[in-house]
Amino acid sequence: MIGIVEKRVSETGRGGGCVLPHIPTFRYSSVFWGLIVVGMMVGRPAFAACTDPAAPGVQWLRCYVDGRSLASADLARANVRESTFQRSDLSRANFSEANAYRSKMISARMMEAKLDGAAFIEADFTRADLTRASLNNTDLRRARFYHTILREANLTGARLEGADLLNADLTGAMWTDGVRVCGANSIGQCN
């Protein structure tokens, strides 16, 4: 049985004073820490490096891809969660069925990009240019579109619950119902 031994310690160092418990060390601490290390190595998912080339299914988790030219890149089914693409050229890039949760596309050029069936939940498209982009059935819940250009974009079936379209230009965009085309001067809403 392991017991706690009391040890008297004084502020002057002469004995007497307060009583501190003395807890014996764990004899098997090296075994314990060894199991922790092995568990971390075994249970670790394999993520691709942020420097891996753009390709379908690439794993760019929390990567900084700012200012890069990825025009016409195929990123279908890619995992780009919480990655930033600020000021990147993503014109005609394919993000179909990609997981882009909380990604940042701030001031990105995304003209004619394909985002069909992708999850851009809580993504930030502030000042991005999505002219003629295809966002069919894209999950855009709680996404930010501050001053975003969505002219002639196709939003058929897109989920926009909680999305912020403050000063977004929706002129000529196909609305989520797949029927209505937003009129001229559709700023912040589809008129």
Q: pLDDT (tens digit, 9 = 90+) per residue, 54-96?
A: 999 999 999 999 999 999 999 999 999 999 999 999 999 999 9
The residue ranking higher by pLDDT, 20 or 51, is: 51
Q: Domain limits of the chain?
A: 5-42, 46-191
Residue 44 is predicted with a pLDDT of: 46
157/135 Cα distance (integer angstroms): 8
Q: Are 109 and 132 in contact (CB under 8 A)?
A: no
Which of 156, 149, 165 is closest to 111 using CA atoms?
149
Q: pLDDT (tens digit, 9 = 90+) per residue, 133-161?
A: 999 999 999 999 999 999 999 999 999 99
Query: Span 46-191: which CATH code?
Result: 2.160.20
Residue 29 is predicted with a pLDDT of: 58
Q: What is the DSSP letter of 20?
A: E
Q: Residue 157 is encoded by which pair of tokens? A: 């079936």
Is residue 126 predicted with pLDDT exceeding 60?
A: yes
Q: What is the mean pLDDT of residues 153-176?
A: 98
